[in-house]
């Protein structure tokens, strides 16, 4: 990370594990540094990834545009009820998955040792 850059924003991008590979490559290619935190959660218990990106506010819109180009929603069919309680073919419903959830926080102080 360049010591002359002032970090005044922390962007937390929560994305699908299906989108994170392309997004991570594009972030690196465009000079964004990040920390990756993997977890499971949500209604569908899918793997999700949170990327923590420290930036200067002047690059905020560029980061949002890049995330928007890499993270897309898609339709997934999931069982409407728990499979263990149902004999035979379960009823499937459409669920929208993917995309990104973005949180932006102001950074009071950034220190790198």
Q: Where do the domains of the chain lie, and which CATH numbers do they carry?
A: 9-106 (3.30.70.120)
Q: Which tokens hold the place of 78? A: 């999931």
Q: Terminal CA-to-CA distance of the chain, rounded, Å?
A: 11
Higher pLDDT, 15 or 83: 15
pLDDT of 52-100, one tens digit each? 999 999 999 999 999 999 998 888 887 776 655 556 677 888 888 888 9
DSSP letters of 54-99?
Answer: EE-GGGHHHHHHHHHHH--EEEEEEESS-GGG--SSPPEEEEEEE-
Q: What is the pTM of this model?
A: 0.80
């Amino acid at each position: 990370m360049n010591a002359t850059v002032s970090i005044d924003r922390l962007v937390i991008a929560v994305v699908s594990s299906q989108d994170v590979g392309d997004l991570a490559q594009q972030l690196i290619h465009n000079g964004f540094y990040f920390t990756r935190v993997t977890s499971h959660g949500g209604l569908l218990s899918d793997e999700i990834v949170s990327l923590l990106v420290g930036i200067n506010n002047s690059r905020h819109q560029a980061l949002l545009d890049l995330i928007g180009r890499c993270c897309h929603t898609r339709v997934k069919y999931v069982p409407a009820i728990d499979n263990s309680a149902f004999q035979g073919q379960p009823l499937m419903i459409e669920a929208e998955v993917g995309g990104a959830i973005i949180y932006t926080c102001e950074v009071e102080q950034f220190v790198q040792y």
